[in-house]
Structure 1
Amino acid sequence: MAEPAGQHDRDCPGRIWSAMLRLMMGAPMKVSELARATGVPIPTIKYYLREGMLAPGRRTSVNRAWYDHGHVRGCG
């Protein structure tokens, strides 16, 4: 049986805490951490990025970027 959306995060409070800690410290976050910190699903964040509703993150490689507190505000 497939795991319900968001079930993994409820089973891993340490991951949510880690995302919130990075947010509070102003540390850059991966898109998955941004999603956990804001409660906005990753596909929605990617849609915001694609449509220009959210500024792109700082690219660290071809398929990875870091996001900051400004992105958190943009997701709210």
Structure 2
Amino acid sequence: MDARLTKQLVDALPVRQADPESKLADLTSRELEVATLLAEGQSNKQIAKELEISQETVKVHVKHVLNKLKLNSRVKVALYMVQQK
């Protein structure tokens, strides 16, 4: 999905109160960084450049984020992150 479209979708969502039992606590600090950048609509390449890591490492972090949050797409991660703000 295009990064601009993802950002527009996320920006259009209503803001909800953070869930006190949020699964975000299960993420490492690096996974949280990756999830935050995903929520901004950044690609793996952009995330890799921003965090100064390889794209393969980003893919691993994305996989871990998806598994820990029990989600199946980057867009769902973006939506989840917005809901947790």
**Normalized against structure 2, the TM-score is what?**
0.30
Per the normalisation by structure 1, the TM-score is 0.32
Which has the bigger relative contact order, CA under 8 A and spacing at least 6? 2
The structure in which a higher percent of residues are strand is 1
